[in-house]
Amino acid sequence: MKIRKINLEESEIPESWYNIIADMPNKPLPPLHPATLEPIGPDSLAPLFPEALIKQEVTTDKWVSIPDEVRHMYTIWRPTPLYRAYGLEKVLDTPAKIYYKYEGSSPSGSHKPNTAIPQAYYNKQEGIKRITTETGAGQWGSALSFACQHFGIACEVYMVRLSFNDKPYRKIMMNTWGADVYPSPSERTAAGRKILEMDPESPGSLGIAISEAVEMAVSREDTKYALGSVLNHVKLHQTIIGLEAIKQLEKAGSDMPDIVIAPFGGGSNFAGLAFPFLRLNLEQGRNIRCIASEPASCPKLTRGVFRYDFGDTAGMTPLLPMYTLGHDFIPAPIHAGGLRYHGAGVIVSQLLKDRLIEARAHDNIEIFEAGVMFARSEGIIPAPEANHGIATAIQEAKKCREEGVSKTILFNLCGHGNFDMKAYDDYFAGKIKQHELSQYEIETSISKLETPLIPT
């Protein structure tokens, strides 16, 4: 019988996370203070994050040890299986070997707990009583609620209003783990009230929700803030995905993949799978192509500009050097999925600038076609975010068929779609339309930026 899932033992969960900064030929540019435009040091992050996470944010150590308690919590769902996609290969009639790493088996159904657990752990270590955060599709808010519950920390989630309305089950999931959830923009914060004054019907955005969560963290002594993507320490934690995948491919006696693919929102999903493979490129001169798959409706990697920008809408964060569509870009409310953040994390941005990775955009209809094909050939119904990676994998597998070459393709199936059934229903009902984001819209958003350019 052909082996479908390559598993690892709990004892094989990696003991360290991988920090790609150590291996990058060009290190990311420093964050700047928005007023002085001077590089800022780690101290300025102290109101937001516990010390241990700030250290991880700026460390240049190549390996960061995973605390035992975090590894033990990981065993609730890790190691996650690496699947050989026999069903998808068959329906595509492709000579490609397709693998996917399945991160949907976590309690909250995505890869997000990989960083939620250590973030809650380090906050607990430093005596923090409450964590605020934002969530878009709900994946991150769920993951942090689950993690905070375990460590006995209160959790306060600002959920993009469009998702809050479309995905009541995500909210209840967070409540079940004891979190408080507010639709964003809310009346609870100055940032939220300001948006609501301008547009009482605002569907919200991740940028707005971040502003609210940050405001509620800095205004209370016992409270810190947590971010589910973008930042270096978040990417660091997610590398557990790729590190496991490499062990699993070795265990299966497989070559390393030719192509590694992951969905792209703020970067942690992509970083998690791809960075450990990029390490092989950087260290051993391998040539593994790493492709970030983003939505055509929020195409910061493929159509954005590389310059300094704020991480949030209200401009409360430091200025970060990144590919961005402009910090007040609000993606069209096509479907309340993730991947709708206006910017890309600094590490990924630098890697793309240096052409060490690639990016590709997929439109809305294409990604649901890919998701339904996957559900019907592999069984698992993927989250819409995951469908972006599947769409790229399908394109590459078809190319293999056309060219008659057998490549090995690996993608990150970052979550299941159990909470996204409404989006599938809309797709079946023909309500999901191809959204053409015009060059004018993008230029308008970017042209508003008054933030520093990056010299080329």
Q: Using CB under 8 A as the criterion, which residues of the chain lie in contact with a copy of itself when the complex forms?
A: 1-5, 7, 9-11, 68, 71-72, 75-77, 87, 105, 107, 109, 146, 149-150, 168-169, 172-173, 175-178, 372, 375-376, 378-381, 418-419, 421-422, 424-425, 428
- Identify which of 380, 363, 362, 361 has the alpha carbon closest to the alpha carbon of residue 371: 380
Complex with a copy of itself: residue 49 or 102, whichever CB lies closer: 102
Contact predicate 385/415, CB 8 Å? yes
Among candidate residues 408, 377, 432, the one with its CA nearest the CA of residue 252: 408
Residue 260 half-sphere exposure toward CB, CA atoms < 13 A: 30
Q: Which residue has the tokens 């700030």?
A: 54
* Choice between 193 and 376, CB closer to a copy of itself: 376
DSSP of 380-424: PPBPHHHHHHHHHHHHHHHHHHHHT---EEEEEE-BB-TT-HHHH
> Smallest distance from the beta carbon of 98 to a copy of itself, in angstroms?
15
Shortest spacing between CB 310 and a copy of itself, in angstroms: 34
Query: DSSP H helical segments within 2-103, as ranges?
Result: 51-58, 68-74, 86-92
Q: Would you say 341 and 210 are in contact if contact means Cβ atoms under 8 Å apart? A: no
- Shortest gap between Cβ of 424 and a copy of itself (angstroms)? 5
Whether 338 contacts 53, CB under 8 Å? no
Q: How far is the CB of 337 from a copy of itself (least distance, A)?
A: 16
Contact status, residue 444 vs residue 133, Cβ threshold 8 Å: no
CA distance 27 to 58: 11
Helix ranges (DSSP H) in 252-335: 268-284, 300-303
- CA dihedral in degrees (268, 274, 277, 282; nearest 10)? -80
Taking the least distance from each CB to a copy of itself, the nearer of 196 and 394 is 394
When the beta carbons of 109 and 345 are compared against a copy of itself, the nearer one is 109
Cα–Cα distance, 79 to 410 (Å, whole number): 17
In sequence order, what DSSP letters do the residues of 111-158 get, joined into one string?
Answer: STHHHHHHHHHHHHHTT--EEEEEESSSHHHHHHHHHHHHHT-EEEEE
* Closest listed residue to residue 383, CA positions, set 54, 74, 102: 102
What spatial distance separates the first Cα and last Cα of the chain, rounded to whole Å?
Answer: 55
Least distance from C-beta 71 to a copy of itself, angstroms? 6
Whole-angstrom Cα distance, residue 9 to residue 352? 35
Alpha-carbon distance 166 to 154, whole Å? 25
**Whole-number Å distance between alpha carbons of 171 and 162:** 12
Least distance between a copy of itself and beta carbon 421 (Å):
4
